[in-house]
Amino acid sequence: MDIISDPAAFQRVCWFWRLSGAKTALVPTMGFLHAGHASLLEAGRERADKVALSVFVNPSQFGPGEDFERYPRDPGRDAALAEAAGVDVMFTPEPGAMYPPGFATWVDVPELAKGLCGGSRPGHFRGVATIVAKLLMLSLPSMAIFGQKDWQQLAILKRLTQDLGFPAEIVGLPTVREPDGLALSSRNVYLSEAERAQAPALYEGLRLLRDWVRGGQTGAEALTARLRAWCGERAPLGEIDYLEIVDPDSLTPLGQVGDRALAAAAMRFGRTRLIDNLLLSPAG
C-alpha cells in the first residue's frame, strides 16, 4: 500500500487508474478507523479493482468550540488497518495542502443541510460538501462509499454529485454496530463508562419507535414525544439534540409516518454528540 500526502501525486495515481479502465472506489474518512470503516473498505475491495482511502480531519466541517483539536487521530493504526483491508493507496493530506492560501470556493446544498445535524452544526455540511467535492475531483472514482449512520451527509453528497455531474456513484452502506446496538463512531472513545452504558438507548429508542409505528401509531409528533419521555428515563445522562421523522430523500419533516420515513436523532452525552437513524418503512 502506498501512503501519499501530496494531492497532485494522489491525483496522478487515481487518474491513471481510471484512465486505464480500472473500476475505482474512494472511501473518504477522518481516520481513527474502526470496523465500520473496514466494512466500507471491504465493499470497495469487492466492487472495484482499486481502492483509495482518504484520511483527513477536515477543519472546515468543525464549528467554533467543536472537537477539531481533540478529534482522535492514530495514523499508524489507520495504516495497519488499511493495509489489512487491501487498500491500494492511503491519502493523508495536510490541511494546508487541501486549503492552500487564497482558497475561496465552497460547495453548499442549503436545502438539505438546514435541518437535523445542520440545525445544530451550522456550516458543517458546507465543509463536508466542499471537501468531498475536492476529493472526488482529485481521485475521479467510479464510486465513493460512505456509511448510512451519516444519513443526511449521504443525501447531500448524492444531490451534489448529481447536480454537479461528478461521474461517480455514491454508495451508502448499513451502519456497523457494537453488540449492544451502539453505532460505531470514532467519537465513542470520548464517552465515560457511565455514558457508554446509556448510549445504546439512542438506537434502542429508534427501534422502539419503529415498533410503535408497526403497532399502528403514525403521528410523528406523538411518536417523538413518547420517545423523548422514554429516553429521559432510560438515559438520564443523555440530552436529545434533535429527534425527527423525515422523508428519507428530501429530509423534510413528516406529520404522519407513511410508506417511507426515516427517524433521525442526535443525543449529547456530556460533550459527546452521537447520531443515529432508522428507516421506519416496512422494508426498513
Q: Which residues bind ligand PAF (CB under 6 A)?
A: 28-30, 58, 61, 128, 131-132, 150, 153
Indicate the residue type of 105.
T
26 or 182: whose CB is closer to ligand PAF? Answer: 26
27 or 254: whose CB is closer to ligand PAF? Answer: 27
* Shortest distance in whole angstroms from residue 243 CB to ligand PAF: 21
131 or 280: whose CB is closer to ligand PAF? Answer: 131
* Shortest distance in whole angstroms from residue 61 CB to ligand PAF: 6
* Shortest distance in whole angstroms from residue 43 CB to ligand PAF: 15
Pair 155, 112: CB distance under 8 Å: yes
**How far is the C-alpha of 61 from the C-alpha of 124, rounded, in Å?**
4
29 or 92: whose CB is closer to ligand PAF? Answer: 29
Of 26, 36, 37, 148, the active-site residue reads: 37
Phi, psi of 52, deg, nearest 5: -110, 140
Cβ–Cβ contacts within 10 Å for residue 44, how many?
Answer: 28
* 34 tagged catalytic: no
What b/e readout covers 118-137, taking b as 16+ CB neighbours within 10 angstroms? beebebbbbbbbbbbbbbbe
* Shortest distance in whole angstroms from residue 1 CB to ligand PAF: 19
- Using alpha carbons only, how large is the chain's radius of gyration in Å? 19
Residues acting as catalytic residues: 37
